[in-house]
């Protein structure tokens, strides 16, 4: 692993913390089943990421401790559980997650307005009860692993997200133009990000960091391209530099 100084410069001069225009747009996907491993990655890659994503795998392994641990490291925490159940259940689960201090929470946007509203309300209520700032509920439109969804699905789900009070949506980079037109005020979160030439893995609709930023992404979710790299810090620094260049050119 690369050694990182307090100033954010990796040994060998690869990258530097300091360009907040990039760091504020990058979420680190901690898709592992061990909180110790997740914490090691979070500490090493903190200079380039402002958000830590706790997904189903890590949350199943460590539960609320995963959220609290990443908050203690100074991250905004993105809980990616893609809640989808009856409105009462979603409301209560979202309230708990809001009270833990999660800044973002995903809800499946599958033509269920009552469920989405319940999740949005519960998430905000939980944060308010804990004296925390308003969090952002994110509606998942179409998974980036799904290459067969009809073209009308994403626009319909983005519109539903806006109608039900969600603060943002999760979509593929290729859907960003439609998303900007349909729900221009919502935060646009894009997973499936891969540097040029990298393996797409199970992401059928992957995109480069530069393309996603150029198309209007607000937050990029980066996982295996960094966490499974031979040099995670070097990979993170390269992606951050690409994002910073794209932001300046936009």
Q: Which residues are catalytic?
A: 82
In angstroms, the CA 231 to CA 189 distance is 25
DSSP secondary structure letter of residue 47: G
The three-class DSSP label of residue 149 is coil
Angle between helices 87-100 and 113-129 (to 10 degrees): 30
CA distances to 101, 147, 157 from 209, rounded to whole Å, are: 28, 20, 24
Q: Give the contacts of 40 (CB within 8 A, at least 6 positions apart).
A: none
Are 223 and 190 in contact, with CB atoms under 8 Å apart? no
Angle at the Cα of 70 (from 43 to 29), degrees rounded to 5? 75
Number of C-beta neighbours around residue 145 at 10 A: 15
Burial of residue 36 (CB within 10 Å: 0-12, 13-18, 19+) is exposed
Number of C-beta neighbours around residue 136 at 10 A: 21
């Amino acid at each position: 692993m690369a050694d990182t100084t307090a100033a954010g410069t990796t040994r060998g001069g690869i990258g530097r913390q300091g360009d907040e225009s990039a760091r504020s747009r990058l979420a680190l996907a901690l898709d592992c089943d061990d909180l110790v491993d997740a914490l090691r990655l979070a500490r090493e890659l903190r200079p380039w990421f402002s958000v830590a994503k706790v997904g189903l795998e890590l949350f199943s392994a460590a539960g609320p401790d995963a959220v609290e641990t990443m908050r203690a490291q100074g991250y905004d925490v993105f809980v990616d559980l893609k809640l989808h159940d009856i409105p009462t259940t979603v409301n209560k689960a979202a309230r708990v997650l809001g009270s833990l201090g999660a800044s973002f929470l995903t809800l499946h946007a599958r033509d269920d307005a009552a469920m989405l509203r319940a999740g949005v309300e519960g998430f905000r209520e939980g944060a308010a009860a804990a004296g925390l700032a308003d969090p952002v509920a994110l509606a998942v439109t179409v998974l980036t692993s799904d290459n067969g969804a009809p073209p009308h699905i994403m626009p319909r789900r983005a519109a539903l997200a806006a109608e039900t009070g969600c603060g943002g949506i999760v979509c593929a980079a290729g859907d960003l133009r439609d998303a900007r037109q349909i729900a221009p005020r919502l935060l646009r979160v894009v997973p499936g990000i891969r540097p040029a030439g990298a393996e797409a893995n199970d992401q059928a609709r992957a995109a480069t960091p530069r393309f996603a930023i150029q198309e209007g992404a607000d937050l990029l979710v980066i996982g295996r391209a960094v966490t499974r790299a031979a040099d995670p810090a070097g990979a993170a620094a390269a992606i951050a530099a690409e994002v910073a260049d794209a932001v300046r050119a936009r």
